[in-house]
Amino acid sequence: MSKDQRGSLKQQQHGLDSQLVLSSSVMRQLFKGPVDEVCHLAVSQLMAARSEGNARPCSTVLLVGGFARNRYLQARVRAAVMGSGLAQQVVVPDVPHAAVLGGAVQYGFHPARIHGRRSLKAYGVTTCAPWIEGAPGKFPDFGTGIWMTDCYFLRFVKKGELVSKS
């Protein structure tokens, strides 16, 4: 950085020329996309829980991980889940970045504490099935004389379904 550039930076940053100062509005712009996505996912998960018959709001949302240290994220998540009436409170541990590690250690020592998990994706296999109008992959089964499709997805687990640990 040239002497002129350093002088200009120092003037813009009220005397600081060895650090880059970012305003709160610039920081909000930098974090907007990821924060919006976290809020959307939190609301989606709580709405999914509500659609399964739980009419009451979630008592506590626990915000963990390194990004949970971000106060802007905390405020936005609180506004999203509490403002919509989906949760009563959002709790952030003193060291949220260590909470995930703590959970992994707890699971390592006490795996029976985890009863199940929500599937992030649908799981199944592609198989053959009797052909229906509009289905792709139409071919004849010469043994039965029935038209078949080779593009049928036989789903074992739906996305978001609770899958037991066993």
| pLDDT 10s digits, 20-51 | 777 888 888 989 999 999 999 999 989 988 88
CA distance 60 to 42: 12
Task: Answer yes or no: do 86 and 127 share one domain.
Answer: no
Task: Answer yes or no: do 98 and 131 share one domain.
Answer: no
- Residue closest to 124 by CA, chosen among 160, 157, 161: 157
Task: Answer yes or no: do 88 and 129 share one domain.
Answer: no
Q: 127-158: per-residue pLDDT in tens?
A: 889 999 988 889 999 999 999 998 888 899 99
Task: Answer yes or no: do 59 and 95 share one domain.
Answer: yes
pLDDT at 1: 65
Task: Answer yes or no: do 108 and 45 share one domain.
Answer: yes
pLDDT at 117: 82
Question: With the C-alpha atoms ordered 53, 55, 56, 58, is the resulting torsion angle positive or negative?
Answer: positive
Whole-number mean pLDDT of the chain?
87
DSSP secondary structure letter of residue 58 = B
Domain annotation covers residue 8: no
The average pLDDT across 102-121 equals: 84
CA distance 14 to 123: 57
**How many degrees, rounded to 5, is the angle at CA 40 between CA 38 and CA 46?**
100
Domain annotation covers residue 15: no
Task: Answer yes or no: do 104 and 44 share one domain.
Answer: yes
**In the structure, what pLDDT confidence band is assigned to residue 78 with cuts at 50, 70 and 90?**
very high
Q: Which of 72, 88, 113 is the last residue of a domain?
A: 113
Domain annotation covers residue 64: yes
pLDDT at 61: 93
Domains held by the chain: number: 2
pLDDT at 140: 93
pLDDT at 17: 66
